[in-house]
Every structure is written in structure tokens, then in C-alpha cells.
Amino acid sequence: MGSTVPRSASVLLLLLLLRRAEQPCGAELTFELPDNAKQCFHEEVEQGVKFSLDYQMESACVTIHEALKTVIDSQTHYRLREAQDRARAEDLNSRVSYWSVGETIALFVVSFSQVLLLKSFFTEKRPISRAVHS
């Protein structure tokens, strides 16, 4: 047996090397920017130092929240105008209905009057003869 290191020691050494390989020695952050962007993010961070990018996420959330408030305000405004316009349209519809009923009644009255007038033109009027009673 040509090996001077016992088999259990080589397995232990292999396990230690694998465990060391699993631990990262550094971190890399990548930002995707548009082609025409002139921003640069660079910061060297020591191992074990914790940091976060909450400010950028918070500002994005605030921007989205403000945009959503604007959308909600617009929707409320449009719903209010829709309700007002619907009430106005229903009122106008009832007025048009009453006007149509009034016109229909007036049409029947005028038609009946014309028929009576034309009928009076074509009826014979008999002269009243006065008989002389002697």
C-alpha cells in the first residue's frame, strides 16, 4: 500500500474542501440599465457586512402608490360624472315621454275637430219652411 495518508483522513480532507467551496468569498451585484443610461453603481462591500437597497425599492413603491391614487381619483371623478349624466338622461327621457303623450292627445283633438268641421261642410242644410196657417 503505497499511500501514507489513511483513507479516513483523505475523506475528511475532501469533505473540508467541499465545505469550503460552498461558502462564497464575495458577492456581486448586477444592475440592468437601458443602453442610453449614464448611471454607474459601484461599491466594494466587505464580507459579512449586511446592506440593503430598500431606499430604491421604497421610492419605487411610493411612485406606484401615487400613480394608483391618481387612477383612483380619476375613476371616482368619472363615476360621479356618469351618475350625474345618467340622472340627467333619465329626467330628459321622462320629459320627452310626457311631451309625446301631450302631442298625441293634441293630434287626436285636432284630427277629431277637422273631421267634424269637414263633415259640417258636406251636410245639407234644409231651409225651414214656414207654413202659413190660415
CB burial readout 23-36, b (16+ within 10 A) else e? eeeeeeeeeeeeee
Q: What confidence score (pLDDT) does residue 70 get?
A: 96
Q: Walk along the chain (134 residues) and give the pLDDT tens digit of each residue.
A: 455 557 777 777 777 777 766 665 556 666 666 677 666 666 777 787 776 665 677 788 889 999 999 999 999 999 999 999 999 999 999 999 999 999 999 999 999 999 999 998 888 777 776 666 65
DSSP code per residue over 19-84: HHHHS-S---------TT----------TT-----HHHHHHHHHHHHHHHHHHHHHHHHHHHHHHH
pTM (2 decimals)?
Answer: 0.42
> Do the beta carbons of residue 41 and residue 29 sit within 8 Å?
yes
